[in-house]
């Protein structure tokens, strides 16, 4: 039978610890619940608007004109009125002002009448899209007009055609987000396609056919028919129900990562819950001893304190839910530009239920150990004798083991990816273990130190104050900070690598789709030295005779073999390449066609020198044996190719040329104008512009990641606060004794400040060591780029950590410093 | 010569809505080198008087003077060095800093003054009271008697003019209590220190030069 008055008194008596407990529970669920809710909202919206997000029922995509048999099948189905079809072509090209005074890379979409079958292209004029987009006209985004200094009615050269800008694009249904575009969207009517003269053999473009079926019941059958017609070509036939939109893929990946961050926060908050409850129960040890002395059983006592934990946990869950709801108001701003306009963020009942469940599980998981240890409080503690309890018994191992297993299950369920889940758990374990070892080593070293300054010496002693959770604070803070620091360092390195600088002499402008016949003339027009690479589009269809399953390949989180590759041929290594397997690029002793592969490909699928790859190039199968494996020695933006063939194999294949050149920044505009005027089919990619887009995306993503990771810092701060509360008595005692013995207030404040400074400094330093090592490994091994440790920025992070910990620690200690010595001494006398 | 003086000191505490007068018009003088005992029953106000005379608390009315200097309205930061240099404290509950060893506890007041020989003085005092072998022990590793001897050393390290002792034998058995009392008196005489002790023990009072008896907050 529970004594509710006792439970109520315990909660009110430990108000401060209780508040920290509630906050920790709230914090443990806030990220996961808000992300879960956000994910559901995005998915629901994408599913609800799936037809308009794809603009049709069936989507047939290709990187080349559709094979005749597919065209024929579509024609047959259209003739029998089972569907209506509309094609569009999507590619980058450079548009130019008619007077040649300006040009701009734009994302061209050439559409046939009928597009879009679902959804609506919204124009600034409000007129219907199909009435505005007629032959001779274009519709463009406002930025297109702004950057070229055009107005409606002005004419613009695109390819070989001169077209009139007729309206401004506000929104298109199948590109809900344009955050990732390298240039503004421009719509052109398909009647102008041939006039543009931009699509040659091997040109880089998406060829898409949209179909609207007459009877929705026939959807899958018709899709299957088209798939059969496509055969084993790399053409993708999808329905709006199973098509994976880029937006969805992007969100799946981002939310996957943010979920990792949420789980990390949950773990740290869990430690906070555990240490707070340990402190709360430690304060009640004498009460527990008295209860036991008068005959109460452990089960009775644990039951009551479990009820206390459950009530506080319930309050925390409610607070977490409310905070998650509040976060739904912030998320649209945080993700602005990244989420489609039609996404409406709502909080589902399922999210609420999930939140309460997570809250309950977190409370059960992290309170088990402190509650169990109540069993070990002996009645003789009534005499105030501190008993050294054995920390690890069979029962505590069992509790810790069950907790770990349970946490692993939570990770696997949440991530739905066993391999990543296990890696994540392993990384977490390593992070916490390294933090623990470094904190323990540092504390052990400090324990024996005797600094000359009295205040510093007392502060050092304070770190080892009984009940001080110094090590727990350091481990939690340093683990959380290591993640934040590593994100910052990686972001800085990526910025440096891609955004801020191009190495002297490295190319900064790429010219693509140069036809072989144009090469000589192009080089003369360009007027500067450029590197030319033949490009042949092709796919990998089999490895050692085993066909590639494109669907399975596309499920990979990173790059995959299902996509189309740019193949090239040459017989020398590039200056920034070296061999990692094989002595020469090609083997003189082999008579079969050979291909050298970049080591990045090996990471997609295991393969080795001697294996045979089958490619499809313009529909023709080409078998080649792997003669060598190369790697890149620089991470900069220089051209590289996954597959390099012997010239003899591909020299006669349909190809275009790709040119990389280093141009003076001030001359890029003029050269672009000159090239586009003479070679309208050639696209000019100004990398300085491209990296600006990339930098914008990186900055936004890192803001989002940092926002969610900052919750783990809050968990660390709560543990600092909890530790101050747990040691409140000891701190007051010290402050009073120091004052009584003649110490000024400044001395006491200095002791507490130095203690917090040490905690912040050590935690920050450990975090910095771990994050530097982790970032170094990620940059060198995963991103294959140079690493800069950014010492100044690192020291700034460290200083910020110290400041934060000092502010929090001193803030929580203010009440202690205000305590009057006589009040404390009188209370002691009363005892 | 008068070292400590209280003039019409009054102190009240609020208990709920009721105001309880703990000290009522206390006027007394303590002479240099004197061993004075403040005696009284539990709740008579003797500990409150000690905290007010030692500057740990302020009276509601009246004045407190140390060597003719009025300390009644001094702020904490002005009182702190005075307490450090002039006073020593010995309490019933010892009040040793738990995170410091016996030697560090004793050294602490001298270190606050910046005394370079703090360590030597602490060790000499600990030797003197028979704690040479317990210098690196923490308070929780010491017995009650050892803790109190350590507290006495701490009270004496800065050679204070005045020692305030609040029931110094209250938490000790009779043998240890007697030993501590003798030690305290011995050191007091050796150093000609003034000792103001609060106790309810008639036996201790018999050793005093003067006994001040409090009843219901008034000297009787």
- How high is the mean pLDDT in each 10-residue block of chain A (831 residues)? 82 85 90 82 75 85 86 92 93 86 89 90 93 94 90 92 94 74 90 86 80 90 90 80 71 78 84 83 81 84 91 91 86 78 72 81 87 82 58 79 83 80 88 93 90 90 77 83 85 70 72 89 89 90 87 70 88 89 91 92 87 88 93 76 92 90 83 83 79 74 81 80 74 85 89 91 94 91 81 93 87 78 70 43
Judging contacts by C-beta atoms under 8 Å, the chain B residues touching residue A733 are: 97-98
pLDDT given for residue A810 in this prediction: 86
- Interface check for A448 against chain B (CB to CB < 8 A): the answer is no
- Interface check for B98 against chain A (CB to CB < 8 A): the answer is yes
3-state secondary structure A693-751: HHHHHHHHHHHHHHHHHHHHHHHHHHHHHHHHHHCHHHHHHHHHHHHHCCCCHHHHHHH
User: What's the whole-number mean pLDDT along residues B16-39?
Assistant: 89
- Interface check for B83 against chain A (CB to CB < 8 A): the answer is yes
Continuous segment of H or E residues that includes residue B23: strand B18-31
- Interface check for B72 against chain A (CB to CB < 8 A): the answer is no
- Interface check for A581 against chain B (CB to CB < 8 A): the answer is no
Q: Is the pLDDT of residue B23 over 80?
A: yes
DSSP letter (8 states) at residue B140: G
Tell me how far apart the alpha carbons of residues A82 and A213 are, in angstroms, rounded to a whole number: 6
Judging contacts by C-beta atoms under 8 Å, the chain B residues touching residue A829 are: 47, 91-93, 166
Tell me how far apart the alpha carbons of residues B207 and A700 are, in angstroms, rounded to a whole number: 81
pLDDT given for residue A444 in this prediction: 93
Q: Do A465 and B56 touch (CB under 8 A)?
A: no
Q: Which residue of B has its CA nearest to A828?
A: B93
B188–chain A nearest CA distance, Å: 19
Q: Two tokens at A731?
A: 């701190």
Tell me how far apart the alpha carbons of residues B23 and B206 are, in angstroms, rounded to a whole number: 24
Judging contacts by C-beta atoms under 8 Å, the chain A residues touching residue B97 are: 733-734, 737-738
- Interface check for B81 against chain A (CB to CB < 8 A): the answer is yes
Residue with tokens 């990471």, as numbered in its chain: A603
Helix (H, G, I), strand (E, B) or coil at A553: helix
Q: Two tokens at A245?
A: 């939109």
pLDDT given for residue B167 in this prediction: 86
Distances (CA, A) of A153 to A140, A185, A186, A587: 12, 17, 15, 60
pLDDT given for residue A831 in this prediction: 43
End-to-end CA distance of chain B: 24
Tell me how far apart the alpha carbons of residues B70 and B63 are, in angstroms, rounded to a whole number: 7
- Interface check for B75 against chain A (CB to CB < 8 A): the answer is no
Identify any residues that bridge with A684 across adjacent strands, giving them in sequence order: A511
Tell me how far apart the alpha carbons of residues A751 and A742 are, in angstroms, rounded to a whole number: 14
DSSP letter (8 states) at residue A82: S
Judging contacts by C-beta atoms under 8 Å, the chain A residues touching residue B164 are: none
Tell me how far apart the alpha carbons of residues A513 and A655 are, in angstroms, rounded to a whole number: 9
- Interface check for B108 against chain A (CB to CB < 8 A): the answer is yes
Judging contacts by C-beta atoms under 8 Å, the chain B residues touching residue A462 are: 99
- Interface check for B19 against chain A (CB to CB < 8 A): the answer is no
- Interface check for B99 against chain A (CB to CB < 8 A): the answer is yes
Name the pLDDT band for B123 (thresholds 50, 70, 90).
very high
Tell me how far apart the alpha carbons of residues A263 and A266 are, in angstroms, rounded to a whole number: 5
- Interface check for B103 against chain A (CB to CB < 8 A): the answer is no
3-state secondary structure A658-699: EEEECCCHHHHHHHHHHHHHHCCCCEEEEHHHHHHHHHHHHH
- Interface check for B84 against chain A (CB to CB < 8 A): the answer is yes
Q: Two tokens at B195?
A: 């000792």
Packing angle of the helix pair A745-777, A454-463 (nearest 10 deg): 60
φ and ψ at residue A672, rounded to 5 degrees: -60, -45
- Interface check for A467 against chain B (CB to CB < 8 A): the answer is no
Pick the closest to residue A605 from A651, A543, A514, A672 (CA basis): A543
How many A×B Cβ pairs under 8 Å? Answer: 79
Packing angle of the helix pair A246-283, A687-726 (nearest 10 deg): 20
Sign of the torsion formed by the C-alpha atoms of A569, A572, A576 and A577:
positive
Q: Two tokens at A121?
A: 């292209």
Q: Two tokens at A78?
A: 């259209």
Tell me how far apart the alpha carbons of residues A42 and A342 are, in angstroms, rounded to a whole number: 9
Judging contacts by C-beta atoms under 8 Å, the chain A residues touching residue B109 are: 741-742
- Interface check for A821 against chain B (CB to CB < 8 A): the answer is yes
Sign of the torsion formed by the C-alpha atoms of A787, A790, A795 and A797:
negative
Tell me how far apart the alpha carbons of residues A565 and A535 are, in angstroms, rounded to a whole number: 9
Q: Which residue of A has its CA nearest to B151?
A: A741
Residue with tokens 């990641």, as numbered in its chain: A705
pLDDT tens for each residue of B97-114:
888 899 999 999 999 888
- Interface check for A734 against chain B (CB to CB < 8 A): the answer is yes
Q: Do A742 and B57 touch (CB under 8 A)?
A: no
- Interface check for A462 against chain B (CB to CB < 8 A): the answer is yes
Q: Is the peptide bond before A116 cis (omega within 30 degrees of 0)?
A: yes
Judging contacts by C-beta atoms under 8 Å, the chain A residues touching residue B96 are: 737
Pick the closest to residue A721 from A767, A759, A749, A761 (CA basis): A759
Q: Which residue of A has its CA nearest to B86?
A: A742
Distances (CA, A) of A397 to A273, A371, A426, A823: 19, 14, 19, 43
Q: Which residue of A has its CA nearest to B170?
A: A829
Judging contacts by C-beta atoms under 8 Å, the chain B residues touching residue A831 are: 93
B139 Cβ contact list (under 8 Å, min separation 6): B94, B96, B97, B98, B100, B102, B105, B147, B150
**Cα diameter, chain B:** 52
Q: Do A822 and B140 touch (CB under 8 A)?
A: no
Q: Do A742 and B95 touch (CB under 8 A)?
A: no
Judging contacts by C-beta atoms under 8 Å, the chain B residues touching residue A730 are: 98-99
A408 within 8 A of A739, measured Cβ to Cβ: no
Which one of B108, B122, B150 makes the best mutation probe of the A interface by having the most chain A beta carbons within 10 Å? B108
Query: Could you tell me where the DSSP H helices lie in A231-297?
Result: 246-283, 285-293
pLDDT given for residue A143 in this prediction: 87
DSSP letter (8 states) at residue A379: G
Q: Two tokens at A696?
A: 């914008």
Residue with tokens 């990173």, as numbered in its chain: A558
Average pLDDT of chain A? 84
Which one of B45, B46, B55, B56 makes the best mutation probe of the A interface by having the most chain A beta carbons within 10 Å? B56
Read out DSSP for A787-808?
Answer: ----HHHHHHHHHHHHHHHHHH
pLDDT given for residue A635 in this prediction: 61
Judging contacts by C-beta atoms under 8 Å, the chain B residues touching residue A828 are: 91, 93, 95
């Amino acid at each position: 039978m529970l004594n509710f008055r006792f439970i109520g008194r315990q909660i009110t008596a430990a108000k401060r610890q209780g508040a920290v407990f509630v906050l920790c529970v709230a914090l443990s669920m806030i990220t996961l619940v808000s992300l879960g809710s956000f994910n559901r909202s995005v998915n629901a919206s994408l599913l609800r608007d799936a037809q308009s997000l794809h603009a049709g029922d069936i989507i047939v995509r290709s990187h080349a004109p559709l094979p005749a048999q597919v065209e024929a099948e579509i024609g047959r189905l259209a003739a029998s009125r089972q569907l209506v079809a509309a094609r569009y072509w999507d590619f980058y090209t450079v548009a130019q002002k008619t007077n040649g005074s300006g040009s701009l890379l734009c994302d061209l979409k050439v559409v046939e009448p009928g597009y879009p079958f679902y959804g609506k292209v919204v124009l600034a004029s409000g007129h219907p899209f199909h009435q505005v987009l007629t032959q001779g006209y274009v519709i463009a985004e406002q930025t297109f007009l702004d950057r070229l200094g055009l107005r409606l009615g002005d004419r613009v050269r695109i390819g070989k055609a001169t077209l009139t800008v007729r309206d401004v694009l506000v929104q298109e249904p199948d590109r809900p987000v344009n955050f990732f575009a390298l240039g503004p969207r421009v719509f052109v009517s398909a009647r102008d396609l041939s006039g543009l003269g931009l699509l040659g053999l091997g040109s880089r473009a998406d060829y898409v056919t949209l179909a609207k079926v007459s009877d929705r019941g026939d959807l899958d059958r018709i899709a299957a028919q088209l798939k059969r017609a496509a055969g084993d070509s790399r053409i993708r036939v999808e329905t709006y129900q199973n098509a994976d939109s880029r937006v969805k893929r992007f969100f799946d990946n981002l939310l996957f990562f943010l979920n990792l961050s949420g789980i990390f926060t949950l773990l740290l908050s869990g430690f906070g819950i555990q240490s707070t409850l340990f402190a709360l129960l430690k304060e009640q040890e004498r009460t527990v001893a008295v209860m036991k002395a008068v005959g109460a059983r452990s089960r009775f006592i644990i039951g009551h304190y479990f009820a206390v934990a459950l009530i506080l946990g319930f309050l925390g869950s409610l607070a977490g839910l409310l905070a998650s709801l509040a976060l739904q108001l912030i998320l649209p701003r945080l993700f602005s530009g990244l989420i489609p306009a039609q996404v409406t963020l709502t909080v589902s009942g399922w999210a609420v239920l999930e939140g309460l469940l997570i809250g309950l599980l977190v409370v059960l998981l992290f309170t088990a150990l402190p509650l169990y240890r109540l069993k070990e409080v002996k009645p003789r503690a009534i005499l105030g004798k501190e008993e050294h309890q054995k920390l690890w018994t069979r029962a505590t191992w069992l509790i810790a083991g069950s907790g770990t297993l349970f946490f692993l299950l939570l990770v696997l369920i949440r991530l739905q990816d066993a391999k990543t889940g296990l890696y994540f758990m392993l990384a977490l374990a390593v992070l916490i273990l390294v933090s623990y070892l470094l904190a323990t080593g540092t504390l052990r070293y400090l324990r024996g130190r005797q600094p000359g300054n009295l205040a510093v010496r007392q502060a050092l002693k304070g770190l080892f104050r009984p009940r001080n959770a110094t090590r727990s604070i350091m481990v939690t803070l340093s683990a959380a900070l290591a993640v934040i620091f590593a994100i910052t360092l990686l972001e800085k390195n990526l910025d440096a690598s891609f955004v801020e600088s191009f190495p002297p002499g490295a190319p900064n402008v790429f010219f693509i789709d140069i036809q072989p016949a144009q090469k000589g003339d192009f080089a003369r027009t360009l007027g500067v030295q450029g590197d030319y690479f033949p490009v042949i589009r092709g796919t990998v269809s089999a490895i050692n005779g085993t066909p590639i399953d494109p669907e399975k390949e596309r499920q990979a989180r990173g790059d995959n073999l299902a996509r189309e590759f740019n193949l090239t041929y040459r017989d020398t290594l590039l200056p920034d390449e070296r061999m990692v397997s094989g002595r020469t690029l090609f083997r003189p002793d082999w008579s079969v066609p050979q291909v050298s592969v970049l080591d990045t490909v090996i990471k997609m699928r295991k393969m080795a020198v001697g294996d045979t790859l089958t490619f499809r190039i313009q529909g023709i199968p080409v078998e080649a044996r792997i003669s060598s494996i190369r790697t890149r020695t620089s991470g900069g933006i220089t051209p590289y190719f996954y597959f390099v063939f012997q010239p003899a194999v591909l020299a006669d294949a349909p190809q275009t040329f790709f040119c990389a050149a280093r141009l003076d920044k001030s001359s890029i505009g003029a050269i672009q104008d000159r090239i586009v005027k003479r070679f309208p089919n050639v696209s000019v990619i100004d990398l300085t512009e491209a990296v600006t887009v990339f930098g914008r995306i990186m900055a936004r993503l890192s803001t989002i990641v940092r926002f969610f990771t900052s919750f783990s810092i809050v968990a660390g701060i709560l543990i600092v606060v909890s530790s101050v509360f747990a040691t409140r008595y000891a701190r007051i005692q010290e402050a009073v004794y120091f004052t009584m013995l003649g110490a000024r207030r400044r001395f006491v404040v200095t002791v507490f400040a130095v203690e917090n400074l040490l905690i912040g400094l050590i935690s920050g330093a450990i975090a910095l060591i771990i994050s530097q090592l982790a970032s170094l490994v990620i940059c060198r091994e995963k991103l294959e780029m140079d690493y800069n440790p950014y010492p100044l920025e690192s020291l700034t992070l460290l200083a910020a950590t110290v400041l934060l910990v000092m502010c929090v620690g001193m803030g929580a200690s203010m009440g202690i410093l205000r305590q009057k010595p006589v009040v404390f001494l009188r209370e002691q006398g009363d005892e | 010569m008068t070292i400590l003086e209280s003039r019409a000191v009054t102190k009240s505490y609020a208990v709920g809505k009721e105001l309880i007068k703990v000290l009522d018009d206390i006027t007394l003088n303590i002479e240099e080198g004197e061993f004075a005992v403040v005696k009284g029953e539990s709740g008579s106000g003797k500990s409150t008087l000690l905290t007010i005379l030692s500057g740990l608390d302020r009276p509601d009315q009246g004045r407190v003077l140390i060597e003719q200097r009025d300390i009644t309205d001094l702020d904490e930061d002005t009182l702190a060095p005075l307490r450090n240099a002039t006073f020593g404290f010995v309490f019933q509950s010892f009040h040793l800093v738990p995170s410091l060893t016996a030697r560090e506890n004793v050294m602490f007041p001298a270190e606050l003054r910046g005394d370079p020989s703090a360590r030597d003085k602490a060790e000499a005092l600990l030797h003197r009271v028979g704690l040479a072998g317990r210098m690196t022990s923490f308070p929780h590793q010491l017995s009650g008697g050892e803790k109190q001897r350590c507290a006495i050393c701490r009270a004496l390290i800065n050679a204070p003019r005045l020692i305030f002792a609040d029931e110094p034998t209250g938490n000790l058995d009779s043998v240890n209590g007697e030993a501590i009392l003798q030690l305290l008196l011995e050191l007091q005489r050796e150093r000609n220190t003034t000792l103001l002790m609060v106790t309810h023990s008639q036996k201790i009072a018999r050793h005093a030069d003067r006994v001040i008896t409090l009843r219901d907050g008034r000297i009787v």
